[in-house]
Amino acid sequence: MIPASFDYIAPQSLEEAVRALADHGEEAKLLAGGHSLLPLMKLRLANPKLLIDLSRIPGLRGIRHETIKSSSARSPHIIR
């Protein structure tokens, strides 16, 4: 149950995360709660080269209830 080696970044903003994702494409995976990804990595069924940790991005913390006025629903969704 030991994952292969990988790089890790924890961007501070959404823009930074999007950029990292664009730069690394398929080789990168987003890390949110990790409940699916980390077990797969430990089984070596997933071997991403880079993990982009979303936990430091202020806009993605907590759940907020908003009345949906337009079709663009927003759901910030990292819960720890």
Partner 1 sequence: MPVSKLVGAKVKRREDPRLIRGLGQYVDDINLPNTLHVAILRSPHAHARIKSIETDAARRHPGVVAVVTGAEIKDQIGTLPTSGGNETLRVPKHYVLAADKVCHVGEGIAAVVAEERYTAPDALDLIRVEYELLPVVSDPEKALAPGSPVIHSEWPDNVAFRSDLKHGNLAKAFKEADKIITQRLVHQRLAPIAIEPRGVLAHYLSSDKELTVWSSTQIPHMLKSHLSQMLKLSEKQVRVIAPEVGGGFGSKLNVYAEEGLLGYLALKLNCPVKWTEGRRENIQATIHGRGQVGDVEAAVKKDGTILGLRYKVIADIGAYHQLFTPAIPPFTGLMLSGCYKIPAISIDLTAAFTNKMSTDAYRGAGRPEATYVIERMVDRIAQELRIDPVKVRKKNFPKPAEFPFKTATGVAYDSGNYQLALNKALKIVGYEKLRRDQKRLRSQRRYLGIGLSTYVEICAMGPKGMWEYGKVEVEPTGKVRVLSGASPHGQGQETSFAQIVADQLGVEMDDITVIHGDTAAVAKGIGTFGSRATAVGGIAIYQAAEKVKEKARELASHFLEVDADDLVFSDGRFSVKGVPKKGLTVQQIAQEAHRAKNLPKKMEPRLSAESTFEPSNFTFPFGTHICVVEVEPQTGKIGIKKYVAVDDCGKVINPLLVDGQIQGGIVQGLGQALYEEVVYDENGQLLTGSLMNYALPRAADLPRLNLTRTETPTPVNPLGIKGIGEAGTIGSTPAVVNAVVDALAPFGVTHIDMPLTPQKIWSLCQETKAAGSGGRR
Q: Give the C-alpha separation, 57 to 61, whole Å.
A: 7
Q: Give the C-alpha separation, 43 to 23, whole Å.
A: 26
Which lies closer to partner 1 via its Cβ, residue 23 or residue 27?
27
Which lies closer to partner 1 via its Cβ, residue 5 or residue 75?
5
- Give me the least distance between CB of 54 and partner 1, in Å please: 24
Q: Give the C-alpha separation, 69 to 24, whole Å.
A: 35
Q: State which of positions 42-71 bind partner 1 (CB under 8 A).
A: 42-44
Q: State which of positions 5-34 bind partner 1 (CB under 8 A).
A: 5
Please choose, out of 18-26, 27-35, 40-48, 52-60, the segment that lies near partner 1 by the rule CB under 8 A: 40-48
Question: Which residues of this chain interact with partner 1, rule CB under 8 A?
Answer: 1-2, 4-5, 39, 42-44
